Amino acid sequence: MTILNKPFETQYNTAPFSKIKNDAFLPAFKTAIKKAKKEIDAIVNNNDKPTFQNTIEALDYSGEELDRISSVFFNLNSAETNDAIQKIAQEVSPLLSEFSNDITLNEYLFKRVKAVYDSKSELDLSAEQATLLDKKYKSFARNGANLPEDKKERLRVIDKELSQLKLKFGEHILAETNKFEMLLTNECDLDGLPDGAKEAAKQLAESKGKEGWLITLDYPSYIPFMTYAENRTLREKLSKTFGSKGFKNDTLDNQDIVLEIANLRYERAQLLGYETHAHFVLEERMAETPEKVNHFLTDLLSKAKPAAINEFEKLQEFAKELDGIELLQKWDSAYYSEKLKQKLFDLDDEQLKPYFKLENVINGAFIVASKLFGLEFIEIDTIDKYHNDVMTYKVVDSDSELVSVFYADFFPRAGKRNGAWMTSYKPQMIKNGVNERPHVSIVCNFTKPTKSKPSLLTFNEVTTLFHEFGHALHGMLANTTYPSLSGTSVYWDFVELPSQILENWCYEEETLKLFAKHYDTNEVIPMELIEKIKKSATFNEGMQTLRQLSFGMLDMAWHGVDPSDIKDVKSYEIRAFGETQLYPEVEENCMSTAFAHIFQGGYSSGYYSYKWAEVLDADAFEYFKEEGIFNKTVANKFKTYVLSQGGTENPMTLYKKFRGQEPKPEALLRRAGLIK
Please report the pLDDT score of residue 672 as a whole number. Answer: 87
Looking at residue 50, the DSSP 8-state letter turns out to be: P
Architecture of domain 3-104+106-146: Up-down Bundle (1.20)
Close Cβ partners of 442 (under 8 Å, ≥ 6 residues apart): 407, 408, 409, 420, 421, 422, 423, 465, 468, 469, 471, 472
DSSP assignment string, 277-326: HHHHHHTTSSS-SHHHHHHHHHHHHHHHHHHHHHHHHHHHHHHHHHH--S
pLDDT greater than 80 at residue 676: no
Q: Are strands 421-426 and 402-409 parallel, antiparallel or unpaired?
A: unpaired
Distance CA 579, CA 294 (A): 13
Lowest mean per-residue pLDDT among 25-29, 109-113, 416-420: 416-420
What contacts 24+ positions apart, CB below 8 Å, involve 202-210?
A: 203/448, 203/450, 203/451, 208/181, 210/183
- Transcribe 400-438 into DSSP letters: --EEEEEEEE-S--TTS-SS-EEEEEE--EEETTEEEPP
> What's the mean pLDDT when you consider all of the chain?
96
Catalytic residue (one of 64, 65, 468, 573): 468
User: Please, which pLDDT band fits residue 350 given cuts at 50, 70 and 90?
Assistant: confident
Question: What letter would DSSP give residue 445?
Answer: -
Q: What is the mean pLDDT of residues 454-458?
A: 95
Q: Which helix (H) or strand (E) holds 252?
A: none
Q: Of the candidates 364, 361, 366, 363, which has an alpha carbon nearest to the alpha carbon of residue 403?
A: 366
Average pLDDT (609-622) is 94
Average pLDDT for residues 345-358, to the nearest whole number?
93
Are 669 and 633 contacting, i.e. CB atoms less than 8 angstroms apart?
Answer: no
Residue-level pLDDT at 674: 81
Residues in CB range of 551: below 8 A, 6 or more apart: 591, 595, 597, 607
User: What is the SS3 assignment for 456?
Assistant: strand
- Give me the helices (H) in 324-427, please: 333-345, 349-352, 358-373
Instruction: Read off the amino acid at residue 231.
Output: N
Q: So what's the pLDDT on residue 492?
A: 87
The whole-number average pLDDT for the span 392-415 is 96
CA distance 471 to 413: 23
Question: How far is 658 from 661, CA to CA, in rounded Å?
Answer: 8
Between CA 483 and CA 442 the distance in angstroms is 20
* pLDDT of 665 strictly over 90: no
To 10 degrees, the CA torsion angle through 456, 458, 463, 466?
Answer: -10
Q: What is the mean pLDDT of residues 19-35?
A: 97
CA atoms within 13 A on the CB side of 312: 21
Categorize the per-residue pLDDT at 669 as very low, low, confident or very high, splitting at 50, 70 and 90: confident
Contact 102, 37 (CB under 8 A): yes
pLDDT at 21: 95
Distance (Å, rounded) from C-alpha 64 to C-alpha 99? 14
Identify the band that residue 150 occupies on the pLDDT scale cut at 50, 70 and 90. Answer: very high
Burial label, 675 (beta-carbon count in 10 A; 0-12, 13-18, 19+): exposed
Range 305-324 average pLDDT = 97
468 has catalytic annotation = yes
Angle between helical axes of 290-323 and 541-559 (0-180°, round to 10): 140
Mean pLDDT of 302-323: 96
Residue 378 bridge partners (DSSP) = 394
Cβ(132)–Cβ(485) below 8 Å: yes
pTM score: 0.89
232-242: per-residue pLDDT in tens? 999 999 999 99
Share above pLDDT 90 across residues of the chain, in percent, rounded to a whole number: 94
Instruction: List all residues 6 or more positions away from 207 whose beta carbon is below 8 Å from its beta carbon.
Output: none
Task: Kindly report the number of other CB atoms within 10 A of residue 539's CB atom.
Answer: 17
Assign domain 354-537 one CATH number from 3.40.50.1370, 2.160.10.10, 3.30.1650.10, 1.10.1370.40. Answer: 1.10.1370.40
Q: Terminal CA-to-CA distance of the chain, rounded, Å?
A: 64
Domain positions in the chain are 3-104+106-146, 180-243, 354-537
